Structure 1
């Protein structure tokens, strides 16, 4: 694959909780689940440390092992937990977590894994793009989102509603009937969406955190076809620039209701060669 990628934090003075890593035949993206300052997590390291540590572990695993992506993810979650279980409270419901997208090319196939709400888009030859996203978190969150959506974006009321939303969602994290993310329990890997497609059916791939995919799935300013064309012609940095432009045009969230007015945004685009 010929890969290009870009990542940008929501705010320049805050750590980027996304992780992106790639080799010529693999891509790994994680989007850390940010925790408001008024909520405890039980971890002294923080979300950025978690997503970057697990991401690096997964990239090494997907490069060095022929195991399934599910097996590699489970091993990565277990290994990362072991790096801080002696000094952090991993039983805390707010222990750091992250979405995961993994993509690996073998001789004639592409294997993929998606856990939680980051997005994988496959540009299939002679067909519409194949868009893969785990929607369980969004479906679970629908029952708690109204107070946050009703408040003016960025206001104290909005920030308080966001904290209440995240706290309510913790009760549904990594339990049957809820949603699944990478956190502490390696069994979460078994809940990931997985699949394999022949390489000769795919023109290109895009891997997006939800801060980058919002140009399409939140703002509706492009179709998936248009997003793929934008990535192909102008690259991931331009897609993120357009996301930022849209965010700045709606600072109170009146046009597009959302928990985060600005979000960490990461995009990778790979042409199959």
Structure 2
């Protein structure tokens, strides 16, 4: 088994809002990948006393404990319990009903002797490579299906689309959101490797169009996770006219976790 993890902040002067972990249980019979992409809040209030890294650290920590200590627990249930546990940590001090309460996208993958389970919530991506080299992206594409015009006004997004039917979902304070995640189980024999990427890294495919998902995974396999992030940074720096970036932040937190099973 080989694993690699790279997580780079978009701005060295700001905390990285991503969370990433590769977990290898003491039994030696499997492993887990946990990747969260904290949602950067707007300049206005969020109803919460805590910054996004506080939230992702606690949600990621809860997922780490639950997915490893309870290999029998489905990933959606682990996410349900982790969100509930994290919400309880600040329910007495913060307004968790606020639409911009701290929240994150989620990618989970767990392999055991015979199976590989996965869960994806919102716009981070899990790439699954088969033994023959075929790469299948696991995507929660609800955000991509929304018209760009519908996402132009932050207040309207928060009121009508964020964690609402017909919109998109993230892990925030409502444990029920776990049921909205994209989940599945594959035979272990059908999986050669896995790669989990936050949207700061998927820019190479989704924003700059430098290649498809198969080519993206090939970069990680051949050159390393750090090489993919550096390629994205070079493209961001070169886009001085913002042809590709448009209204997006120039650099986003970028995380890549690769595991060859």
TM surpasses 0.5: yes
The residue that corresponds to 2:65 in the other structure is: 60
Work out whether residues 207 and 244 of structure 2, in 8 Å CA contact, stay in contact via their aligned partners in 1: no
The residue that corresponds to 1:159 in the other structure is: none
Residue 75 and residue 141 in structure 1: after superposition, are their counterparts in 2 closer, same or farther (change >3 A)? farther
Residue 186 and residue 43 in structure 1: after superposition, are their counterparts in 2 closer, same or farther (change >3 A)? same
Residue 252 and residue 262 in structure 1: after superposition, are their counterparts in 2 closer, same or farther (change >3 A)? farther
Work out whether residues 50 and 97 of structure 1, in 8 Å CA contact, stay in contact via their aligned partners in 2: yes
Note the alpha carbon deviations across 1:103-130, whole angstroms, 9 max, x for none: 0011111000000000000011336311
Work out whether residues 141 and 169 of structure 1, in 8 Å CA contact, stay in contact via their aligned partners in 2: no
Shift of 1:143: 2.7
How far, CA to CA, are the matches of 1:257 and 1:202 in structure 2? Answer: 37
Unaligned runs of 5+ in 1: 148-164
The range that moved more, 209-218 or 223-232, is: 223-232
How far, CA to CA, are the matches of 1:253 and 1:144 in structure 2? Answer: 21
The residue that corresponds to 2:118 in the other structure is: 112
How far, CA to CA, are the matches of 1:45 and 1:94 in structure 2? Answer: 12
- Partner of 2:36, secondary structure, is strand
The residue that corresponds to 1:80 in the other structure is: 86
Cα RMSD of the aligned pairs, angstroms, is 1.4
Shift of 1:139: 2.2
The range that moved more, 246-255 or 91-100, is: 246-255
Unaligned runs of 5+ in 2: 25-30
How far, CA to CA, are the matches of 2:46 and 2:4 in structure 1? Answer: 34
Note the alpha carbon deviations across 1:28-76, whole angstroms, 9 max, x for none: 0000110132x21011111111112101110111000121000000000
The residue that corresponds to 1:44 in the other structure is: 49
- Partner of 1:173, secondary structure, is coil
Residue 90 and residue 252 in structure 1: after superposition, are their counterparts in 2 closer, same or farther (change >3 A)? farther
The residue that corresponds to 1:153 in the other structure is: none
TM-score, normalised to structure 1, is 0.89
The range that moved more, 128-137 or 179-188, is: 128-137
Q: Does 1:27 align with 2:16?
A: no
Alignment of 1:1-273 (within 5 A): 1-24=1-24, 25-37=31-43, 39-65=44-70, 66-126=72-132, 128-140=134-146, 142-145=148-151, 165-171=153-159, 172-272=161-261
- Partner of 2:149, secondary structure, is coil
- Partner of 1:168, secondary structure, is helix
Shift of 1:190: 0.4
